Amino acid sequence: MTRILLIVNPFASSVHERGLRAVEQVLAHAGDVETLLTERAGHATELAVREADAVVAFGGDGVVNEAVNGLPDGIPFGALPGGGTSVFARALGLPRDALAAAEQLAEAVVSGRTRRIGLGRVDGRRFCFAAGIGFDAATVRRVDALGRRDDGKRPGDLAYAYELVRVLGRLRIEPALEIAGHGRAAAALVANGDPYTYAGSVPLHVSLDARFELGLDLAAPVRITPLTLPRLVAHALRGTNRPSDALILAHDVDRLEIACDRPLPLQVDGEDLGDVEHVVIESERDAIDVLV
């Protein structure tokens, strides 16, 4: 019998007891399900190494990121949307409803249907879909500082949008980092796939050409001012791939080396990794098999 390890963040925005029991029942059609709940930051990385034929993470992008960082070689991986945004699961084409997504993953386990994708790495840590230095990482930090609700859930998209407006409300962000071989910029957004993230149901893009099967894509605004901000917003909504004097773009790259003028915040998959002055971001091609 196929052994399915289900790693669950019980505090994720859309995870609740009844929904979890329903997900377990659906996955049980594909094999024996062992459910483990995370108890602290980094716990999913420790749990993912347990013996299994497939590993499924149920929660937000944080628990997905942690599980991928502990995933043994050759073990198929599935992501069930249980967070406020769940970018990775949605970018892979899974429905936002966890039960419907579980049905698709169960079918994939039974049929052996997987998709080979690449990941990114920041100084050795894997990320699934996005890494950023600058304003988006500062926004993640502001949202984290809001804390959690009484039920342990994190703030949702509205809080993120509000804090992003506050960060960009400085009106002028000058170049503060150097991307080797590409030039100076105010921030760096690195995508492993498309979209980069979502604002509710609206996808936001770094590059329409970004693919999980390729290397990394880069979008780096040279400076953010009242004049350039509308163009940058339009780029995020439309995903156009035309570099300009306001935006540095790169497609399908293996390595990005970034030096900051001062310590700047870094995030991967929506998780704050602290401030950095120098960072190397690399593509790990053909890294894992995902259940689709």
CATH for 210:
2.60.200.40
Residue at 292 is within a domain:
no
Please check whether residues 59 and 183 belong to one and the same domain: no
Please check whether residues 183 and 145 belong to one and the same domain: yes
In the numeric block, the tokens 């804090």 are attached to 163
Please give the chain's pLDDT, 292 residues, in tens: 899 999 999 999 899 999 999 999 999 999 999 999 999 999 999 999 999 999 999 999 999 999 999 999 999 999 999 998 999 999 999 999 999 999 999 999 999 999 999 999 998 899 999 999 999 999 889 888 887 666 556 666 666 666 776 676 666 789 999 999 999 999 999 999 999 999 888 898 999 999 999 999 999 999 988 878 788 888 888 876 676 788 999 999 999 999 999 999 999 999 999 999 999 999 999 999 999 8
- Cis ω on the peptide bond leading into residue 195 (within 30° of 0)? yes
Q: What is the pLDDT of residue 82?
A: 96
Tokens (6 digits) for 171: 């009106």
Q: What is the pLDDT of residue 229?
A: 79
Please check whether residues 137 and 186 belong to one and the same domain: yes
19 vs 97: CA distance, rounded Å: 10
Please check whether residues 75 and 192 belong to one and the same domain: no
Residue at 119 is within a domain:
no
Please check whether residues 143 and 64 belong to one and the same domain: no
Domain that holds residue 106: 3-112
pTM beyond 0.75: the answer is: yes
Please check whether residues 76 and 132 belong to one and the same domain: no
Q: Which of 212, 179, 176 is nearest to 196 (CA)?
A: 212
Please check whether residues 45 and 142 belong to one and the same domain: no
Please check whether residues 130 and 177 belong to one and the same domain: yes
Please check whether residues 58 and 155 belong to one and the same domain: no
Residue at 291 is within a domain:
no
Domains: count for the chain: 2
Q: What is the pLDDT of residue 170?
A: 63
Answer for the pair 54, 78: CB distance below 8 angstroms, yes or no: yes
27 vs 229: CA distance, rounded Å: 45
Please check whether residues 79 and 167 belong to one and the same domain: no
